[in-house]
Amino acid sequence: MIVTLRFCVSSRRLGFGFFVRIRTLPLLNLAHKPKVFDSFCSSHFSHYSGTQKKIDSTHHTLPSTMNELRDSPATLVQHVPSLRIALNDPERPLHERFRVLFTLKNIGGAAAIDAIAECFKDDSALLKHELAYCLGQLQDTHAIPCLTQVLQDTNQEPMVRHEAAEALGAIGTPEVLATLVAHLEDPVVEVSETCQIAVARVKWENGGKQAAQQTGDFSENPYDSVDPAPPSAPATAAELRGRLLDTELTLFERYRALFALRNKGDPESVLAIVDGFDDKSALFRHEIAYVLGQMQHPVSVPGLIKVLERGESESSMVRHECAEALGSIATDECLPVLERYKQDNQRVVKESCVVALDMHAFENSGEFLTLEQGVEKIVREVKAKQESASA
């Protein structure tokens, strides 16, 4: 078994920051996919598993035990007040605030959730979208009131409200159903479609999963992410592609095929997913881009670039996800594309490119900071700014 470390910065379901992730890669002759341990990343990488790249072991060291890592966030709760200040500081560069956000996600608990919730007053839709995503990944019911308020607030951007609905579905308890059902006919189609999927997921988690396991219509998720829909039973890439593109099926069932293709991970499956970019649903196309970023397979790069280049004829929600995916894949051909679009007219696309370029730099730098070291760095910066302001 090979153990690799990944260090990168990214956005939605990307891994951002300090000690990003440890993953174990099975030998190539085994059918199982890598299990990603994302509890210690400092950014949005919770959906991103990454490709099977190796990092020179002379540049990085593994913690002595996995238990040491798993226990470490509890010792960091005392620093949540400083992290809260850093996250809510509009003068701080966006990519740095993302690292703070995912650090708070990895610490978890009520104080971290409250610090994240306070930031929904920000004017960056991209950042608020990530806030909601992280709250959903935590699956903590303490976040339900905040997410409910965001979903109900029609002054929030559609992509933010969509992510709040998806996060409620990720939490998955029956108490969120009433709110989701109330928005099934929301005038914003991305919100309406998200609520349809989220309702189906909650019902799945509260009864449907057990029945599917008994019938075999189910497969395990090898990624350390809470997905909008569970992967369907293993099948050929051609069969899953047929379900993915079948508009007669519900979005929930099509998402299940999408995540089953993701779990297969081979080039044929990646290209089948790319074919989903021709769908009429912006929400569906956005999820296609997200999954391709999660897979980090270079064969998807031309398809992602093509969609990003659609310009304002394409939904910004889709294009921003393509930019983040390109930053996650981080091959040489991705960099000039991200540089070109970091001045895009759509703010969320522009900001995504800036964040993705930061991630690209991390992917290729070999930089290493443990979660603890990253938190200490942020705390020192907050303290220095406070002292400067009072001088």
Residue with tokens 């730099």: 361
Type of residue found at 377: K
Paired tokens of 254: 């099509």
Query: CB–CB of 42/19 below 8 Å?
Result: yes
Query: CB–CB of 114/140 below 8 Å?
Result: no
What's the length of the chain? 391
Q: How far apart are CA 106 and CA 40, in angstroms?
A: 6
Residue with tokens 């007053």: 121
Query: CB–CB of 218/230 below 8 Å?
Result: yes
Q: What is the DSSP string of 45-113?
A: GGG---------TTT----S-HHHHHHGGGGGGGGHHHHHHHHT-TTS-HHHHHHHHHHHHHH-SHHHH
Task: State the binding site for Fe cation.
Answer: 129-130, 162-163, 286-287, 320-321
Please give the chain's pLDDT, 391 residues, in tens: 333 333 333 333 444 443 333 222 222 222 222 222 232 333 333 333 333 222 222 222 223 333 444 445 668 899 999 999 999 999 999 999 999 999 999 999 999 999 999 999 999 999 999 999 999 999 999 999 999 999 999 999 999 999 999 999 999 999 999 999 999 999 999 999 999 999 999 999 998 777 677 676 667 788 889 999 999 999 999 999 999 999 999 999 999 999 999 999 999 999 999 999 999 999 999 999 999 999 999 999 999 999 999 999 999 999 999 999 999 998 999 999 999 999 999 999 999 999 989 877 876 677 677 888 888 999 999 999 998 888 7
For the purposes of burial, counting CB atoms within 10 Å of the CB of 107, is it exposed (0-12), middle (13-18) or buried (19 or more)? Answer: buried
Q: How far apart are CA 124 and CA 221, in angstroms?
A: 31
Q: How far apart are CA 182 and CA 322, in angstroms?
A: 30
Quote the pLDDT of residue 75. 80
Q: How far apart are CA 377 and CA 92, in angstroms?
A: 14
Type of residue found at 52: Q
pTM, rounded to two decimals: 0.83
Q: Give the number of C-alpha atoms closer than 13 A to the C-alpha of residue 290, restricted to the C-beta side.
A: 24
Q: How far apart are CA 22 and CA 154, in angstroms?
A: 39
Task: State the binding site.
Answer: 129-130, 162-163, 286-287, 320-321
Q: What is the DSSP string of 277-325?
A: GG-S-HHHHHHHHHHHHHHT-GGGHHHHHHHHTTGGGS-HHHHHHHHHH
Query: CB–CB of 155/181 below 8 Å?
Result: no
Quote the pLDDT of residue 48. 30
Q: How far apart are CA 255 and CA 243, in angstroms?
A: 9
Quote the pLDDT of residue 206. 92
Q: How far apart are CA 368 and CA 276, in angstroms?
A: 36
Q: How far apart are CA 391 and CA 388, in angstroms?
A: 5
Q: Give the number of C-alpha atoms closer than 13 A to the C-alpha of residue 362, restricted to the C-beta side.
A: 31
Q: How far apart are CA 58 and CA 368, in angstroms?
A: 12
